[in-house]
Amino acid sequence: MSPTPTQRPTPPSCRVWLRRRCLVLSMVVLSLALTMVTTRSAWAWGRMGHRVAGQLAESRLTPVARRSVQELLEPGETLADASLWADEQKREIPESAPWHYVNVPITETGYNPRFCPDTGCVVSKIPEFQRTLADTTAGRAERARALRFLTHFVQDLHQPVHVGDNRDRGGNDLQLQYFGKGTNLHRIWDFEMLERGELKLSTLYGQVSALVTPERSEQWSSGSAIEWANESFVLAQKAYRAPGDGRLLRAGDKLGQAYEDTFLVVARERIARSGVRLAWLLNGTLK
């Protein structure tokens, strides 16, 4: 009697092939996972910057706002976790990709609504998602989505080269060296400066929260998305120039200590401002 197909033993060569395929498959899975962990988005503060801003904001919520945030987010999800969500949605929600920035040419004098496409930009999306979050007749899922987008976009708006642009996608196309390593202006601001050296999240949190004094937080707790965009814009105009002689950066320029001495504290302060302002917005919206 010949065995039925399901009973037929796998020939040895086939077993080897199966094992090999299994090995190849696990290598593919492993390298994909590694890529996901190590690849950085070209469109946002690094994950650490977002997390620190989210954690700082959460620490400043009123009890009422804190309760609403907890009710909207998933169990155990913190505002630091929620800060990363929008960057993970660029593939699932492709129309959201341009909402992370607005390209204002650094030759202009400031933000103007004509720089914001009809499909939305970081400046227009902040009040829009704030309205949805405030609308208690809207569904929980819709308000949770608005909270996650709002959180992330307040943070991105404070990144200077998410506003200022020199026809190079906010510096993404301006290749530079930073402390001897090839990178671009946008990445220097997203994370290279903030995370240089094996920086721990708790260290960055300490550096950022040390900048928040009662006087500053009172001063920072004001304004609108347009005003915050203009702050970022003025900083971007400076970020595009070499410290010292002030000439415009050119592809291939080598940046290092002088750039860090001028701008690292600025980058940390932008994270601090975004945390304070997000808390201020949420405390006013979730009453």
Q: Could you tell me how far CA 218 lies from the centroid of its own chain?
A: 25
| C-alpha span between 57 and 220 (Å, rounded) | 13
Least distance to ligand ADE, CB of residue 153, Å: 12
Least distance to Zn ion, CB of residue 182, Å: 18
Tell whether residue 270 is a contact of Zn ion (CB under 5 A).
no
Tell whether residue 56 is a contact of Zn ion (CB under 5 A).
no
Kindly tell me which of 101 and 240 has the beta carbon lying closer to ligand ADE: 101
Which residue from 44, 72, 144, 229 is in contact with Zn ion, where contact means CB under 5 A?
Answer: 44
Q: Which residues pair with 248 in a beta bridge?
A: 241
Kindly tell me which of 190 and 260 has the beta carbon lying closer to Zn ion: 190
The residues, any chain, with a CB within 8 Å of residue 220's CB and separated by 6 or more, are 272, 273, 276, 277, 280
Residue 22's alpha-carbon distances to 17, 26, 35, in angstroms, are 8, 6, 20
CB 225 within 8 A of CB 211: no
| C-alpha span between 175 and 183 (Å, rounded) | 6
Site string (179-218) toward Zn ion, x via CB under 5 A: -----------x----------------------------
Kindly tell me which of 87 and 260 has the beta carbon lying closer to Zn ion: 87
Residue 160's binding partner, choosing from Zn ion, ligand ADE, none, with beta-carbon cut-off 5 to 8 A by kind? Answer: none
Kindly tell me which of 101 and 228 has the beta carbon lying closer to ligand ADE: 101
| C-alpha span between 102 and 121 (Å, rounded) | 6
Question: Which residue in 169, 187, 157 sits closest to 271, CA to CA?
Answer: 157
Least distance to Zn ion, CB of residue 99, Å: 8
Please list every residue from 131 through 170 that binds Zn ion, using CB under 5 A. Answer: 156
| C-alpha span between 191 and 181 (Å, rounded) | 13
| Dihedral angle sign, alpha carbons of residues 186, 90, 226, 278 | negative
Least distance to ligand ADE, CB of residue 283, Å: 28
Kindly tell me which of 58 and 87 has the beta carbon lying closer to ligand ADE: 87
Residues found near ligand ADE in the complex (CB under 6 A): 43, 100-101, 103, 161-162, 165, 169-170, 172
Phi, psi (5° rounding) for residue 94? -60, -30
Residue nearest to ligand ADE (CB): 170
Q: Which amino acid is at 278?
A: L
Least distance to ligand ADE, CB of residue 49, Å: 14
Q: Which residues pair with 225 in a beta bridge?
A: none
Residue 194's binding partner, choosing from Zn ion, ligand ADE, none, with beta-carbon cut-off 5 to 8 A by kind? Answer: none
